[in-house]
Amino acid sequence: MKQKKVLLTIRSRAILSRTLSYLGLVTLSLIWIIPIFWIVLSAFRTEVNSDGQLIGIVVSNYFPKKFGVQNFINLFQGQFYGVKGVFPRWILNTLIVAVVDCLISTFLVLSVAYCMSKLKFKMRKPFMNLTMILGLFPGFMSMIAIYFLLKSIGLAGNSADNAWLNIVGLILAYSAGAGMGFQVAKGFFDVLPSSLVESAKLDGCSNFKIFWKIILPLSKPIIIYTALMSFTGPWMDFIFAKVIIGTGAPECWTVSVGLYSLLFGAQSDVNFFTQFAAGCVCVGIPIVGLFMFLQKYYVEGVTAGAVKG
Amino acid sequence: MDNSINASEKKPNIFQRFGRGFVQFWKDFGHGFVNFFKKLGSGFKNFFVNFGKRFADGSIGTKLSHFIMGAGSFYHKQYIKGAIFLILQVLFILFMVMCPTVNGTPYGWKALGNLALKGNPGGYDDMGRLIEADDSTLFLLFGLVTIAIIILFIIVYLVNIASSYKADQDEKSGKKPTSFKEDWGNLLDSRFHILMLTPTCIAALVFTVIPTIFMISMAFSTYNIVDMNDATEPYMKNLFHWNGLTNFIDLFKGKTTLGHEIGARFFPVLGWTFIWAFFATTTCYFGGILLALLINKKGLQFKKVFRTIFILTIAIPQFISLLAMRNLLNGNGPVNQILMNFGWISKPIGFLGNNTVGDNPYLAKVMVIIINMWLGVPYTMLMTSGILMNIPTDLYEAARVDGTSPIKMLFKITFPYVFFVTMPYLISSFVGNINSFNTIFLLTGGGPSVVGGTYVAGETDLLVTWLYKLTIDNGEYNTGAVVGILTFIITATITLIAYRNSKSYKEEDTFQ
């Protein structure tokens, strides 16, 4: 009898704790979802004010009274900063920057990480210390100088005719520093058994062959992680792009600079908010999709990064 | 387990540890500093001894290599290599002598002279035509680039001598000097690291080292747009000069208006930067661990769904979620409207302090930290999930047998374990938060604003966002650079102490 009662309390306690956990998780999920969902809803809301204009931020009701895709049409065909159809241009710019930066950065990161992990040479320690010290400088400080540097060779602050030069400048600026962020990839290579490298060496493989034929095929997770990070970087970064290309013509902006300028730029307007939201949806969906698709590799990289800093 | 609890009780508290670490750090720093120069000295001595020895020992080719690069390689019939060296030397000499100009500013030897920043102030010639003034920014930049090119050239020069000398030695010992093909093979094998690191080194030199030195030099100059725009003639706008330590002194003595305004706000901003970095790091960290524990609780369904929801917020570009938050919480945004509709408040609350001057600064600070949790917790959750699963279950079993409460287990097993494993991440995330530009800039823009002048930082401004305002908005490049240097000194000291501490921490007691 007594035993049964104890069992019962244990079971009811377990149920109670489980219910509480669910409740907590659902509440937290709601807190995390509401702002995002709000942006998505705003993108599709087409309420108009008394002048027949689209209202920017609707404050009275969370769920729209009128749905529609007018915001997207305005965004893609409308005129911002005096340039018609500039939003698709921003997307294109960002895409170009992201693809090229992804290729260059992944190559640099992997090569440096492999050297630091599996090759032994004299300058290894000093090189690692130096990258750490350089990493401690506020990145913002060198940003301004990079802007001057790029401008002096004509790769920043150009007019619309030479917008592509600004894009080249931004690619250089993004990918040049990539090699110094090798820590996560190094952590991955550290875990690969050194015996692989040694036995290949005994078979007469050169270091290049070992890297190319043995290490790289084993490194799919970290290659994907690095590529994902460097590809999404330009979509997510705001300040670097603003300093480097913000002074140039609107035609050479990236998406983040452009969308920010809709709300807070020189020709910003509160009524642009729904169009801003539409832009966020356009950018957000592919990036989120990519993350979800490659979730496994992302989690792996993040976990490795925890230990390696 | 008992053991580790006892050990943790005997351990000095965190402040004592930090204090000790601090003293030890500066002691070691001193040692390291002296050692560095001793090493450098002996390195230089060896270098010159070797240099002389090679010159004396070497063949005619090696001797000639000291003057004409590649001569040694030609002497040893390594034609391609020799040609590369020779071309590099010719290019370098042309670069230094011809002084190619970009935007009216020369490179080469003239650029070195221009580093004195004594630019031509411009003016009008006899015919009344405008002579443009020189651009001091470019003087400084091109001077630095020229120095970098000279350093690279010296490296190539030394490689050229070493290569010829090695060929000499090979010939002496009866081997054939390496062919170009063999050299290339070496580059792919025993000297693979050189091939792999060169692109990164050059990129880092151009896009990290030179810019950093450039910005440091700004701190010792008169480069600010306000003064330069006040120049007597409009054409002189691009000129600035060296002015030694004046900017630093101004900041601490506060005699000029600018110096006074900045000096008055420096320590409050520094203090808030640290408070922010501390809370931003710890709230996200512990929040993330708790969330991970909750999600990974035994017997829960839909784990994947919940995880996906939280990953969703990581995947969304930060500027989107931050601007969404800013608009939600705005003075005339939905949240305020809802609260007013319910009749809970009578007028909008400036949650993020970007409405008016009268907004509550403490509220804004707390809100920023809370929103930062919204951003950061999912990341830590993801990161610690894997680590939590690695905690040996027998630790918990043993604790359960001993009748330890779950809360105690959390503090005695879970946190120490995760803490131990993720120490490097904690340090780098603390530094990251000190320099966390996006969160503050996009959420509050530094507000609520503080009365007292043009250059005054807002209540939630961090050192970095202030740096942005000083440089990009106000054009005070020199003062901005001073603030940047001070930020660097502080963050670097703290990080290095933390790293040192964590290392010794690891050595003195490994977990279990």
Report percent pLDDT > 70 for chain B.
88
Question: A36-46: per-residue pLDDT in tens?
Answer: 888 888 888 87
> How would residue B512 be classed by pLDDT, with cut points 50, 70 and 90?
very low
What range defines the domain where residue A10 resides? 2-76
Per-residue H/E/C for chain A = CHHHHHHHHHHHHHHHHHHHHHHHHHHHHHHHHHHHHHHHHHHHECCECCCCCECCCCCCCCCCCCECCHHHHHHHHCEECCEECHHHHHHHHHHHHHHHHHHHHHHHHHHHHHHHHHCCCCCHHHHHHHHHHHHHCCHHHHHHHHHHHHHHCCCCCCCHHHHHHHHHHHHHHHHHCHHHCCHHHHHHHHHCCHHHHHHHHHCCCCHHHHHHHHHHHHCHHHHHHHHHHHHHHHHHCCHHHHHHHCCCCHHHCCHHHHHHHHHHCCCCCHHHHHHHHHHHHHHHHHHHHHHHHCHHHHHHHHHHHHHHC
Asked whether B383 and A305 are in contact (CB, 8 A), the reply is yes
**Chain B contact set for A305 (CB, 8 A):** 383, 425
Residue type, A183: Q
Nearest CA in chain B to A288: B315
Question: B29-63: per-residue pLDDT in tens?
Answer: 778 778 888 888 888 888 888 888 888 888 888 88
Do A41 and A133 sit in the same domain of this protein? no
> How would residue B4 be classed by pLDDT, with cut points 50, 70 and 90?
very low
Inform me whether the pLDDT recorded for B358 exceeds 70: no
Mutation for B interface: A136, A168, A296, most B CBs within 10 A: A136
- pLDDT, position B288: 92
Residue B163, classed as helix, strand or coil, is helix
- pLDDT, position A104: 94
- pLDDT, position B278: 92
Q: Quick check: A21 and B387 CB within 8 A?
A: no
DSSP state string for B350-408: -TTS-S-TTS-HHHHHHHHHHHHHHHHHHHHHHHHHHHHHHS-HHHHHHHHHTT--HHH
Higher pLDDT, A65 or B18: A65
CB contact B332 to A (< 8 Å): yes
Q: Quick check: B212 and A238 CB within 8 A?
A: no
For residue B492, give both structure tokens: 């670097």
- pLDDT, position B11: 57
**What does the mean pLDDT of chain A come to?**
84
Do A102 and A129 sit in the same domain of this protein? yes
Q: Which residues have C-beta within 8 Å of that of residue A18, sequence separation ≥ 6?
A: B297, B299, B300
Do A298 and A210 sit in the same domain of this protein? yes
Do A150 and A288 sit in the same domain of this protein? yes
**Chain A contact set for B212 (CB, 8 A):** 134, 137, 141-142, 145
Q: Which residues have C-beta within 8 Å of that of residue B194, sequence separation ≥ 6?
A: B187
Residue B171, classed as helix, strand or coil, is helix
Do A159 and A215 sit in the same domain of this protein? yes
Nearest chain A CA: its distance from B427 CA (Å): 8
Question: A87-131: per-residue pLDDT in tens?
Answer: 899 999 999 999 999 999 999 999 999 988 888 888 788 888 788
Nearest CA in chain A to B374: A32
Do A131 and A154 sit in the same domain of this protein? yes
In this prediction, residues A231-252 reach a mean pLDDT of 85
**Chain B contact set for A62 (CB, 8 A):** 334
Per-residue H/E/C for B28-72 = HHHHHHHHHHHHHHHHHHHHHHHHHHHHHHCCHHHHHHCCCCCHH
- What angle separates helix A183-191 from helix A220-236, to the nearest 10 degrees? 170
Do A161 and A21 sit in the same domain of this protein? no
Burial of B439 (C-beta count, 10 Å sphere; 0-12/13-18/19+): buried
Question: A176-207: per-residue pLDDT in tens?
Answer: 888 888 888 888 888 888 888 888 888 888 88
Inform me whether the pLDDT recorded for B505 exceeds 50: no
**Chain B contact set for A145 (CB, 8 A):** 141, 210-212, 214-215
> How would residue A60 be classed by pLDDT, with cut points 50, 70 and 90?
low
> How would residue A59 be classed by pLDDT, with cut points 50, 70 and 90?
low
pTM of the model: 0.84
CB contact A259 to B (< 8 Å): yes
> How would residue B510 be classed by pLDDT, with cut points 50, 70 and 90?
very low
Do A72 and A88 sit in the same domain of this protein? no
**Chain B contact set for A60 (CB, 8 A):** 337, 341
CB contact A31 to B (< 8 Å): yes
- pLDDT, position B501: 67
In this prediction, residues A122-145 reach a mean pLDDT of 80
Inform me whether the pLDDT recorded for B9 exceeds 60: no
Q: Quick check: B192 and A206 CB within 8 A?
A: yes
Tell me which of A76, A106, A134 is where a domain ends: A76
CA-to-CA distance for A16 and B502, rounded, in angstroms? 41
Inform me whether the pLDDT recorded for B6 exceeds 60: no
Report percent pLDDT > 90 for chain B.
11
Inform me whether the pLDDT recorded for B196 exceeds 90: no
Residue type, A233: G
Question: A8-43: per-residue pLDDT in tens?
Answer: 677 788 888 888 888 999 999 998 988 888 888 888
Residue in B269, B443, B450 with CA at minimum distance from that of residue B356: B450
Higher pLDDT, A139 or A214: A214
The ipTM of this complex is 0.86
Do A202 and A58 sit in the same domain of this protein? no
Q: Quick check: B320 and A280 CB within 8 A?
A: yes
> The tokens 């792999």 sit on which residue?
B196
Inform me whether the pLDDT recorded for B346 exceeds 80: no
Tell me which of A24, A42, A76 is where a domain ends: A76
Mutation for B interface: A41, A125, A144, most B CBs within 10 A: A144
CA-to-CA distance for B35 and B13, rounded, in angstroms? 32
Q: Quick check: A239 and B314 CB within 8 A?
A: no
Q: Computed from CA positions of residues A125, A130, A133, A139, in that sequence, does the dihedral angle turn out positive or negative?
A: negative
- pLDDT, position B232: 62
Q: Hey, which residues 204-223 in chain B have their CB within 8 Å of chain A?
A: 204, 206-212, 214-215
Do A97 and A245 sit in the same domain of this protein? yes
- pLDDT, position A308: 55
Inform me whether the pLDDT recorded for B3 exceeds 50: no
**What does the mean pLDDT of chain B come to?**
81
Ranking A154-163, A173-182, B279-288, B381-390 by mean pLDDT, the lowest is A154-163
Residue B458, classed as helix, strand or coil, is coil
Higher pLDDT, B18 or B46: B46
Do A182 and A224 sit in the same domain of this protein? yes
CA-to-CA distance for B355 and B333, rounded, in angstroms? 11
- From A39, A58, A145, residue closest to B214, measured CB to CB: A145
Q: Computed from CA positions of residues A48, A50, A56, A62, in that sequence, does the dihedral angle turn out positive or negative?
A: negative
Inform me whether the pLDDT recorded for B7 exceeds 60: no
CATH number of the domain within which A190 lies? 1.10.3720.10
- pLDDT, position A138: 75
> How would residue A1 be classed by pLDDT, with cut points 50, 70 and 90?
low
Inform me whether the pLDDT recorded for B331 exceeds 90: no
- From B188, B207, B297, residue closest to A21, measured CB to CB: B297
Do A66 and A114 sit in the same domain of this protein? no
- From B309, B378, B484, residue closest to A138, measured CB to CB: B484
- pLDDT, position B86: 92
> How would residue B92 be classed by pLDDT, with cut points 50, 70 and 90?
very high
Domain total for chain A? 2
Inform me whether the pLDDT recorded for B355 exceeds 60: no
Asked whether B329 and B353 are in contact (CB, 8 A), the reply is no
Q: Quick check: B425 and A179 CB within 8 A?
A: no
Nearest chain A CA: its distance from B177 CA (Å): 21
**CA distances from residue A281 to A251, A271, B407 in whole angstroms, order as listed:** 21, 17, 42
- pLDDT, position B2: 42
